[in-house]
Amino acid sequence: MSERDIIQEGCEVEFQKRVTEADINQFAELSGDFAPNHVDEAFMAKSAYGKRIAHGALLIAYTSRASSQIIEDFSSPQADATPISLGYDRIRFIKPVFIDDTITVRYVVESFDTEAARSLAKIEILNENGDLVAIATHIMKWVPN
């Protein structure tokens, strides 16, 4: 295994996802969040946004995919450990995400504390125009088996 294969500061993954109406409707069903911002086109037509917007929590769900992808793409610095999410800090929803927007989730490890077996990652979500729509910090820990 080469040094590049081990998760460390600077490791990065990104993926794109088209946010569909089905995604938003299914997330509303799953979460129980039927706020009109997400499910009522007529209500949102009268708003400043003009149309339905994706749930912020749905965007965070997409960041979970990125954290899983970093685990798949890079090896643990500890041979016998299970990586778990300790949570997300400083989550901000900067701009709305609409049905049929294509987002890019970028996950970059900013630091890795070998002694504590914890990483901090910067997450940015951009829309198809390159506009930053959401940010967060993800904390992950490698728990010894």
Sheet holding 118-126, edge to edge: 12-18, 102-113, 118-126, 132-144, 81-93
Whether the per-residue pLDDT at 4 is higher than 80: the answer is no
Task: Name residue 85's amino acid.
Answer: S
Question: What fold characterizes domain 3-144?
Answer: Thiol Ester Dehydrase; Chain A (3.10.129)
pTM of the model: 0.90
- Domains of the chain, by residue range, sit at 3-144
Average model confidence (pLDDT) across the chain: 93
Angle at 9 between CA 140 and CA 64, to 5 degrees: 35
Whether the per-residue pLDDT at 80 is higher than 90: the answer is no
Whether the per-residue pLDDT at 69 is higher than 80: the answer is yes
pLDDT of residue 90: 96
Digit-coded pLDDT (tens) for 32-54: 999 999 999 999 999 999 999 99
